[in-house]
Amino acid sequence: MALRPPHYAEDVNELALYVDAWSAAADDLLAAAAEITPQQWEAPSDCPGWSARDVLAHVAAIECELATGATPSPLIPIPGRPPAAWWIASGVAQRRGMDPAAIADELREAVQTRRAQYAADPPTDPDARPPRTIGNLTWDTRTLLRNRVVDMWVHDQDIRRAVGLPPTLDTPGADVVALTFAAGMPYVIGRKVAPPTGTCVRVVIDDTSSAYVIDADGRCVRAESDEARHPVVTLTMNRAALTLLGAGRRTYATLPPDAVATIEGERELGIRILDSMSLTP
């Protein structure tokens, strides 16, 4: 699903924010990589079948392709999966056995190249096709730039959790990811869970409250004030819970202690919504 967070007042400012947040998230990931020992790189991550090193390899492969156009080689077809999944798996496989420091250097160089490209030719049209995507995805510039923030920041957190480093929840990248996942709640409620017509759900994230209702056409829309007074269920999440659930890294039952999510009202519906929040591929 192509997530569409609320746009900023000027689209060009939105694109600049995404570029800056992606750049800062890359610096955070590289800083974390510099602290990790060779043994820690083998720790399993929340990405099934991937070690912390595999996560780093994935990010490096994507950034290298976007920087230079170099695709993973060999490209390994995966029956029943779209080409983008082939690219992802092949980029990781290509780097298995590499020294993590060499992978980090590769990532650093690709990020520097892309920064120089953005500095020389800042993106201004959110609906334009970008010079490159991965796996022949037909994303516009807004979607690519926003999703690079999400991918970079979420995978930095994957690596940090795998090796026991603290998360970075108060950064520009975290802000973009939280906004993106919060904006996906109507899709989660209305399309993935699809409760009956008239169901009102209140969602409170970082002290910001929003209420949604299922209308007569089955759409999840903002609730009017009268409807919002009587939600069937209220879900309250801190940023740690929102980002873990939105990235599909945890279920409600497996959230760690620092990721707080509470349910008031219809508990079964609340759990269904929280467990359906994954908005990443």
Q: What CATH number has the domain bearing residue 37?
A: 1.20.120.450
* End residue of a domain, out of 124, 143, 170: 170
Per the domain annotation, does 48 fall within a domain?
Answer: yes
d(CA 246, CA 188): 10
* End residue of a domain, out of 112, 140, 170: 170
Nearest in space to 190 (alpha carbons), one of 219, 216, 228: 219
Per the domain annotation, does 251 fall within a domain?
Answer: yes
Same domain, 89 and 196: no
Same domain, 30 and 96: yes
Same domain, 82 and 208: no
Per the domain annotation, does 4 fall within a domain?
Answer: no
59 CB burial (10 A radius; 0-12, 13-18, 19+) = buried
pLDDT for position 1: 30
Per the domain annotation, does 178 fall within a domain?
Answer: no
Same domain, 250 and 164: no
Same domain, 50 and 147: yes
d(CA 72, CA 46): 23
pLDDT for position 136: 74
Per the domain annotation, does 145 fall within a domain?
Answer: yes
Per the domain annotation, does 281 fall within a domain?
Answer: no
Work out how many domains the chain is built from and give that number: 2
Per the domain annotation, does 6 fall within a domain?
Answer: no
What is the extent of the structural domain holding 158?
11-170
Locate 242 and state its tokens.
């929102």
Same domain, 161 and 245: no
The domain that contains 242 carries what CATH number?
Answer: 3.30.1050.10
Same domain, 133 and 204: no
Same domain, 163 and 28: yes
pLDDT for position 3: 35
Per the domain annotation, does 175 fall within a domain?
Answer: no
Nearest in space to 152 (alpha carbons), one of 168, 132, 133: 168
* End residue of a domain, out of 101, 136, 170: 170
Nearest in space to 244 (alpha carbons), one of 191, 194, 178, 166: 178
What pTM did the predictor assign? 0.93
Question: What is the mean pLDDT, run by run of 10 residues, along the chain of 281 residues?
Answer: 40 86 98 97 96 98 94 87 87 94 98 98 95 86 97 98 97 97 97 97 94 96 86 97 98 97 98 97 72
pLDDT for position 144: 96
